[in-house]
Amino acid sequence: MNEEGLQLIGLTRNDARIYLALARFGPLKAGEVERRTGIHRRNVYDSLNRLEKRGFVSQYMLNKVQVFQAAEIDAIIGELGKKQELLGETIQEFKGMEREAKVPEVQLLVGENGVKFLMDDEAKTAKTVYAISTSGFECQIWDFLEKTPHKITQGMAPTKIIFVESDRKIAERAKRFKFTDVRFVPDVYRSSVGFDIYGDNVAILMKTAIIKIKNEEIAASFRRFFDYLWKIGKKKIK
């Protein structure tokens, strides 16, 4: 072990040099420590006191003279273990703080290129897409998919879609694709926007644009709302 390694567990440079001298040369008197390390006698005693308090050094009397010796390596290993455990806990705390403070990533998607970007992102990101298609604005998505080659739409993620009952015609277009599963809710749930929820993402579908938000907590909140609507939804309407 070198000086830098010992400094990582909180030893000063002098402490590390003195510990290594005792470990290499065996028990030494304070004067011998001074000669071996080049550290002034007063500073030698300061370091020896700190090392002794931490259990890295012990002392005994030999012919009425203090002699200092390095503790067994187990003391260092134990200290390193404590530091590693503390470091692990600190890293987890930082990760938790990062999650709490994380600002959502927001993208504005416009036109057919925006729809294509969203479809590609859903296909490569999600195992399942959860769509709340209650605004009537989602026709642009089905317009795009109907022009897309069949071999590409086969790669789309399974998609559960909620429609309001009066959007039956749009739902029929969606049902043509094998990756979709459709349910209906009463028109009271009609919204001015639609939503696609996939992975940690929420896409807000508007008439003129799509706003894509990437945030785990926001996506989870929308998913809970979707699960409620899916539970009360009907597979068929009269």
How does pLDDT run across 60-116, given as a tens digit for each residue?
Answer: 888 888 899 887 766 666 666 665 665 566 556 655 555 554 567 888 888 778 888
Give the Cα separation of 125 and 201 in Å (integer): 9
Q: Is 60 exceeded by the pLDDT of residue 188?
A: yes
Does the model's pTM come out above 0.75? no
In a domain, 27, yes or no: yes
pLDDT of residue 24: 85
pLDDT of residue 190: 84
Taking only the tens place, the pLDDT of each residue in 16-53 is: 899 888 888 888 999 999 999 999 999 999 999 998 88
- Out of 65, 80, 95, a domain closes at 80
The parent domain of residue 111 ranges over 106-232
Same domain (yes/no): 65, 115: no
Counted domains in the chain: 2
What CATH code is carried by the domain that includes residue 29? 1.10.10.10
Output the six-digit token pair for 10: 């909180």
Lowest pLDDT segment from 84-98, 126-140, 203-217 = 84-98
User: Does 121 lie in the same domain as 76?
Assistant: no
Terminal C-alpha separation, the chain: 79
Give me the sign of the Cα torsion angle 84, 85, 86, 89.
positive
pLDDT of res. 144: 72
Which of 37, 62, 80 terminates a domain? The answer is 80
